[in-house]
């Protein structure tokens, strides 16, 4: 069955088709849309949007994507409104990755689709929420945000009556599959490598920015970090007020790492100009920064882990969130009739544990808190036996 484009679109003659545009702009080693393995349910091609553009739009218009605005990245909403949410982080990753993609002449549409998708499966309360749900269902397949992203776009999201999910292309799903199993031993497409690298560049820089703004870190703690020393050599961070210095630091950290990654990638790809996307994977090209910057980056990440992610203020947030998610999980497992109708219908096929986990995983931080109050605190008298 081939689904028609709906609503029917008037046939137009674009001045430059997406096929011609890619032929003109992309390097041989990019993933060309015409080489896509297509979708699980075949669809007519669109008159002016390529398949990866359509995937990007499908992710962008999904309910799960909109909910990213209510999910914490590292810091919760009650800590202020300066810091990143999961949505703003996603947009930063997409922006950086498109810049790299354009410079290396890779497929920007594919990069953007995968960047917008990459964190869509995060449950409320960040990695803490993921750890709690994983522990709750450890005997039933476990939980990971990367695998849940695939389940969301393949089964849970609804955009068409003829199939579940978003019916994304094989390549976008393959990219997300790589994220959920990085130890598979396979080398992914260059486009997903770029998204992965830019995810890391973005969160290291913005977590540092947010932690400084929130007072979790002090400037003098950063002096010994190799990456910070590198940018201080070229940036006038001793001038201006604290906010200005922070902005310069973040801008410079991103600029330094992006420039290094791109320069190093150009060197890595210098002998691959005759190879196509699949051949580049087969010969095992893995894009990365120069060894010196990789080393400094690992130092920054170890610093962030110790000084920010394990900060007492975040441990307190995580502890409260863990208790709430745990109690909600136990309550809904004991009383599945409290699940929304759609999720009740999934219990037979998916099992109660997995169904409760994915229902909770779809919640925003705020909705999860509201459900905790409504179901657990206000419902405590009527549900003594589950707690
Ligand atoms: Mg991310």
45-49, 126-130, 286-290, 313-317: the lowest-pLDDT one: 313-317
85-94, 141-150, 305-314: the lowest-pLDDT one: 305-314
In this prediction, residue 241 carries a pLDDT of 77
**Cβ-proximal residues to 107 (8 Å cutoff; 6+ apart), any chain:** 22, 26, 30, 31, 32, 33, 52, 101, 191
* pLDDT band, very low/low/confident/very high, at 2 (cuts 50, 70, 90): low
Residues with CB under 5 A from ligand 1 (ion): 119, 199
Cα(90) to centroid(ligand 1), Å? 6
Please return the burial class of 366, using the count of CB atoms within 10 Å of its CB with bins 0-12, 13-18 and 19+.
middle
Q: What are phi and psi of 158, to 5 degrees?
A: -125, 125
Look up tokens 């894009």; give the residue.
287
| First CA to last CA distance, the chain | 50
Cα(59) to centroid(ligand 1), Å? 15
In this prediction, residue 14 carries a pLDDT of 60
Cα(255) to centroid(ligand 1), Å? 18
Cα(161) to centroid(ligand 1), Å? 31
Task: Please state the domain extents for the chain.
Answer: 55-386
**Residues 173-229: pLDDT tens digits?**
999 998 877 777 889 999 999 999 999 999 999 999 989 988 899 999 998 999 999
Please return the burial class of 185, using the count of CB atoms within 10 Å of its CB with bins 0-12, 13-18 and 19+.
exposed
* pLDDT band, very low/low/confident/very high, at 83 (cuts 50, 70, 90): confident
Cα(201) to centroid(ligand 1), Å? 10
Cα(203) to centroid(ligand 1), Å? 7
Question: CA-to-CA distance for 34 and 53, rounded, in angstroms?
Answer: 13
Cα(93) to centroid(ligand 1), Å? 7
Cα(299) to centroid(ligand 1), Å? 19
Query: Check: CATH 1.10.3210.10 for 55-386?
Result: yes
In this prediction, residue 214 carries a pLDDT of 87
CA dihedral 58, 62, 65, 70 (to 10 degrees): 160
Instruction: Name which of 121, 128, 83, 71 is nearest 320 in CA terms.
Output: 128
Cα(75) to centroid(ligand 1), Å? 14
**Residues 106-156: pLDDT tens digits?**
999 999 999 999 999 999 998 899 999 999 999 999 999 999 999 999 999
Tokens of 223: 């002096």
Considering just the CA atoms, what is the radius of gyration of the chain in Å?
23
Question: CA-to-CA distance for 158 and 153, rounded, in angstroms?
Answer: 8
């Amino acid at each position: 069955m081939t689904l028609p484009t709906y609503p029917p679109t008037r046939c137009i003659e674009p001045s430059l088709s997406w096929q011609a545009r890619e032929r003109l702009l992309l390097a041989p080693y990019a993933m060309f849309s015409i080489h896509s393995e297509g979708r699980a349910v075949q669809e007519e091609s669109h008159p002016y949007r390529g398949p990866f553009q359509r995937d990007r739009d499908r992710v962008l218009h999904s309910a799960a994507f909109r909910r990213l605005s209510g999910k914490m990245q590292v810091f919760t909403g009650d800590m202020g409104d300066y810091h990143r949410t999961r949505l703003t982080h996603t947009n930063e990753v997409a922006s950086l990755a498109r810049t790299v993609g354009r410079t290396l002449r890779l497929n920007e549409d594919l990069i953007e689709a995968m960047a917008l998708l990459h964190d869509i499966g995060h449950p409320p309360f960040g990695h803490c929420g993921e750890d709690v749900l994983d522990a709750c269902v450890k005997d039933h397949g476990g939980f990971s945000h990367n695998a849940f992203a695939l389940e969301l776009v393949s089964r849970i999201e609804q955009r068409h009556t003829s199939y579940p999910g978003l019916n994304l292309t094989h390549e976008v799903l393959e990219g997300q599959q790589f994220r959920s199993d990085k130890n598979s031993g396979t080398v992914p497409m260059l486009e997903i490598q770029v998204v992965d690298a830019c995810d890391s560049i973005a969160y290291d820089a913005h977590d540092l920015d947010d932690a400084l703004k929130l007072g979790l870190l002090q400037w003098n703690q950063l002096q010994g970090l190799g990456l910070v020393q590198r940018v201080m050599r070229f940036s006038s961070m001793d001038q201006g007020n604290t906010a200005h210095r922070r902005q310069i630091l973040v801008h410079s950290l991103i600029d330094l790492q992006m420039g290094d990654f791109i320069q190093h990638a150009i060197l890595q790809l210098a002998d691959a100009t005759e190879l196509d996307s699949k051949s580049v994977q087969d010969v095992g090209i893995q894009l990365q920064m120069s060894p010196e910057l990789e080393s400094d980056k690992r130092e920054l990440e170890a610093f962030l882990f110790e000084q920010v992610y394990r900060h007492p203020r975040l441990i307190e947030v995580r502890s409260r969130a863990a208790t709430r998610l745990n109690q909600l999980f136990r309550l809904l497992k004991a009383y599945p009739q409290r699940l929304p109708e759609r999720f009740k219908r999934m219990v037979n096929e998916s099992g109660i544990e997995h169904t409760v986990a994915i229902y909770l995983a779809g919640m925003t931080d705020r909705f999860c808190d509201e459900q905790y109050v409504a179901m657990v605190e206000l419902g405590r008298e009527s549900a003594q036996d589950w707690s």
